Structure 1
Amino acid sequence: MTPMLLSLLAVSAGLSISAPVPVTIARYDFNGRAGMVLDDSGFGHDLRVISGHGGQVRLVVHGAGNAIAFPARCDLTVCPHVALQSPGTADLNPGTRNLAYGADVLLDPAATSKGQNVVQKGYSKTSSQYKLQIDGIAGQPSCVLVDVRRPGIRMVRSSVSAADGRWHAVRCERIGSRFAIYVDGVLRGSTRIPASLAVANNRPLSIGGKGAYRDNDQFNGALDNVWVQIG
């Protein structure tokens, strides 16, 4: 359902439309088979597994359901690579609208690296982007936005680590010119960005890494409840 249609429904119901209606445009709880990752939002952004050098994902138990685990950390010259990707569709682009996205993450402190991508759309050097990643040996989550007209990374980093072998809910949130990161519902960092910053590209939504190639910033833990909300 498009934001315009949601607004029309709001009008017909006698509701105010002064503020945009947030829409969960993609959501994945990984409670199906590992090879078939369906979009629980109903918008049809189903994921396919892409891999290289023997990379695989597997289902692991998380609460009453499943999560998806990615390859363990590898320091060899050639390592397993795998990511989950949707088709690149325009409704996953927020433009200048409010945006929130996040995931439940599980990462061991011994599994951290220079950078591990959790969820992203677009690339910082060749297109606009939104991204959640786990940075550095300390394992601090960070959120990234890159404008489609003025390339340059806008980042907000959590003041606390999420790499302690326990599950954490990490949320990136852009509301107007405010860009913030939350860990387990607690604000852990915020910054200001231009209100005109826009993200729009034809790249897929990618989970667990950039892709299946060598320099893919592979995530080396488990993920659950990955989601994107626009509006």
Structure 2
Amino acid sequence: MRALLAAALVVAATGTAPVERVRYTFDGPAPLADVSGHGHDLSPVSRYGGSFKLVARDGGKALAFPAPCHAEPCPRIALRAATTTELNPGRRPLRYGATVRLAADQTTKGENVMQKGYSARGSQYKLQVDGLAGRPSCVLVDDRRPEIHAAISSVGVADDRWHTLECRRAGSHLTILVDDVPRGRATLPADLSVSSRLPFSIGGKGSYPDNDQFQGALDDVWVDIG
């Protein structure tokens, strides 16, 4: 219902309906399958025993990532879809989000929920949870200018409860919503374009050290473009 309402608001504002490019519910016999029908299934990349497990949530399943580790080598894992231009929004309106659960002892200086591209190598869109307070943020980086644009939430989510997070790019504004309430905003260049040849990933950049490992539970990951 929330997704339908949000889509209706976008149509009312722009006259066009966004296209759901990818969605993962982590349910069913193939939990890493893209249920949008576009075929962007996930594959794990891991190191040092990094793995995920399925946990029950609202009659379905969610993913739980490795617990915090303070002595290297630490378990590392990320889930990646094959590289594709279909998930590059360019200058178009962009919405993406996920549902997360993170306890106070699961926070670090930076945990990646999802991302496409790297800020230091081309362009990027990203959803992350940062700092001891567990404040989520949305990040966009242009494919010609390396400046990082971040909409940072005024509230944290590290309270061991489920929270819906959403990033919305519309023209020159980037907004982060927590549980459907706008909690932070950033101003963007109106011509900012996101286009990356790197894969879409969930839960971390990769399996190497300093991969910004997500350490909580994650569900309902999605990206809408247009």
The alignment status of 1:32 with 2:24, answered yes or no, reads: no
Runs of at least 5 residues in structure 1 that lack an aligned partner in the other structure? 1-15
Return the letter of the residue paired with 2:147.
Answer: G
CA drift of 1:33 comes to 4.8
Task: Identify which of 18, 21, 26 aligns with 2:17.
Answer: 21
Query: Where in structure 2 are the equivalents of 1:198-213 lying within 5 Å?
Result: 198-213=193-208
How many residues align? The count is 215
CA drift of 1:110 comes to 0.9
Contact 2:122 2:144 in 1 (8 A): no
Return the letter of the residue paired with 2:28.
Answer: G
CA drift of 1:78 comes to 1.1
Query: Where in structure 2 are the equivalents of 1:66-85 lying within 5 Å?
Result: 66-85=61-80
Q: Detail structure 1 runs of 4+ shifted over 6 Å in the superposition.
A: none
Q: Who is 2:5 aligned against? A: none
The alignment status of 1:115 with 2:110, answered yes or no, reads: yes
Return the letter of the residue paired with 2:220.
Answer: N
1:93-122 deviation line (CA, Å, top 9, x unaligned): 000000010100000011100000000000
The alignment status of 1:216 with 2:200, answered yes or no, reads: no
1:194-225 deviation line (CA, Å, top 9, x unaligned): 11000001111100000111110000001000
The alignment status of 1:191 with 2:186, answered yes or no, reads: yes
Q: Who is 1:3 aligned against? A: none
Tell me the TM-score normalised to structure 1 length: 0.90
Q: Who is 2:220 aligned against? A: 225
- Any idea what SS the aligned residue of 1:110 has? helix
CA drift of 1:127 comes to 1.5
Runs of at least 5 residues in structure 2 that lack an aligned partner in the other structure? 1-11
Return the letter of the residue paired with 1:19.
Answer: G
The alignment status of 1:157 with 2:152, answered yes or no, reads: yes
1:18-75 deviation line (CA, Å, top 9, x unaligned): 73320110000000357x5100110100000110000000100011100001000111
Cα-Cα RMSD: 1.5
Q: Who is 1:98 aligned against? A: 93
Rounded Cα–Cα distance in structure 1 between residues aligned with 2:21 and 2:191: 22
Rounded Cα–Cα distance in structure 1 between residues aligned with 2:184 and 2:217: 23
Rounded Cα–Cα distance in structure 2 between residues aligned with 1:227 and 1:180: 16
